[in-house]
Amino acid sequence: MLMTSVLIAGFAGAMGQKAVDLVNGMADFQIVAAFSPQADRNDPERYNLNDDVQIFNDLAAIPDQAADVWIDFTVPSAVYENVKFALNHGMRPVVGTTGLTDEQEAELKALAKANHLGGLIAPNFGMSAVLLMKFAQEAAKYFPDVEVIEMHHADKKDAPSGTALSTAKMMAQNRQPHESNPDEVETLANVRGGDYQGIRIHSVRLPGYIAHEQVLFGGTGEALTIRQDSFDRGSFMSGVKVALEKVASLNELVVGLENIL
Ligand SMILES: NC(=O)C1=CN([C@@H]2O[C@H](COP(=O)(O)OP(=O)(O)OC[C@H]3O[C@@H](n4cnc5c(N)ncnc54)[C@H](OP(=O)(O)O)[C@@H]3O)[C@@H](O)[C@H]2O)C=CC1
Ligand SMILES: O=C(O)C1=N[C@H](C(=O)O)C[C@H](O)C1
């Protein structure tokens, strides 16, 4: 059986370390390279990496086709350049990092097409979140009054979460345009949250939390609440495993785990 080689960008981070453990446990996949700007290049053991894994601190130092697959769990400010680099250097991206704009996603899709490489960008690799997004998309057909509350650990760099934004985008596809209360006044700035096409998003950041989302629909005399909880980052790894197993057969850059399941 031919081994699929993997580079993990952001390997020293919380998700990167989970990805290292996952790939180390997959018989047909091998980590050959790893990238994190501040990681100690002389201490692979500290990061559960084998001695022969090449550790990089600079994007520009990574050679052409360093691996078959580029896993990315880095930071919103770096993900676009990382994925562009991967696609320009013959690597198929599997991206969990959030923060790509619609325009950046479109550019990366075009680049993947031009370079004949498939890949996946998934704002959430957890099954509960993928199902929540699908259920919410369906419910939005019948309940146009909806708000999203996402709750995350205090170290999260971006707000709203990629999952909340993706949930809102999916609901907006099915939701009738809907006017909110024109008389509403905020007496405390931003207290009604962010506004994605009329869908309010509220971001909570607290220690003790990992990743959680509630979608609240209201109707005449009734309400529907859909909630998902990731209590452990291990919850994202079944989705990453599916992506690794399928990425070689993808002939485009797909957005959303639900589109390859
Ligand atoms: N799709 C999904 O299912 C999930 C997505 N995420 C997303 O994954 C991303 C990472 O999350 P998490 O692991 O918690 O974050 P961490 O802060 O724990 O890790 C971030 C990693 O990125 C590295 N990094 C920092 N700056 C750069 C840069 N300029 N270029 C490349 N790498 C860089 C850091 O390296 P160093 O320490 O060396 O600076 C670190 O290894 C976030 O966007 C988060 O939202 C998180 C969970 C699930
Ligand atoms: O930063 C996190 O932790 C998470 N990020 C992703 C997001 O922004 O949606 C996925 C999950 O919510 C965990």
Annotated ligand binding at 164? The verdict is no
- Report d(CA 5, CA 34) in Å as an integer: 11
DSSP string, 215-258: EEEEETTEEEEEEEEE-SGGGGHHHHHHHHHHGGG--SEEE-GG
CB atoms under 10 Å from CB of 55, counted, come to 18
Cα distance between residue 115 and residue 251, in whole Å: 10
Q: What is the pLDDT of residue 177?
A: 82
> What is the rounded CA–CA span in Å between residue 91 and residue 102?
22
Q: What is the mean pLDDT of residues 150-172?
A: 97
Residue nearest to atom 10 of ligand 2 (CA): 124
Question: pLDDT per residue over 205-226, tens digit each?
Answer: 999 999 999 999 999 999 999 9
Residue 62's alpha-carbon distances to 53, 146, 209, in angstroms, are: 12, 45, 35
Burial of 230 (0-12, 13-18, 19+ CB in 10 A): buried
Domain borders along the chain are 4-121+234-259, 127-230
Q: pLDDT band at 2, cuts 50/70/90?
A: confident
Ligand 2 atom at minimum distance from 150 CA: 12
* Two structure tokens written together for 153: 């650990």
12 is in an annotated binding site: yes
Span from the CA of 240 to the centroid of ligand 1 (angstroms) = 15
- 1 pLDDT band (50/70/90 cuts)? low
CATH C-level class of 127-230: alpha beta
Share of the chain above pLDDT 90, in %: 97
The alpha-helical segments, DSSP class H, found in the chain are 14-24, 79-88, 102-114, 127-139, 162-174, 237-246
**What local confidence, expressed as pLDDT, does residue 180 receive?**
84
User: Does ipTM top 0.90?
Assistant: yes
Q: How large is the average pLDDT for residues 127-149?
A: 98
List, in order, residues 6 or more apart from 182 with CB less than 8 Å away.
none
Per the residue annotation, which of 134, 156, 241, 246 is the catalytic one?
Answer: 156
- Distance of CA 233 from the midpoint of ligand 2 (Å): 10
CA of 123 to the centre of ligand 1 (A): 13
Task: Report, at the CATH architecture level, how domain 4-121+234-259 is classified.
Answer: 3-Layer(aba) Sandwich (3.40)
CA–CA separation, 165 vs 247, rounded Å? Answer: 24
To the question of whether residue 14 is assigned a binding role by annotation, the answer is: yes
Token pair belonging to 122 = 């998934």
Length of the chain: 261
DSSP state of 45: G
Same fold for the pair 4-121+234-259 and 127-230: no
152, 169, 202, 212: the catalytic one is: 152
pTM of whole model > 0.90? yes
pLDDT band at 179 (very low <50, low <70, confident <90, very high): confident
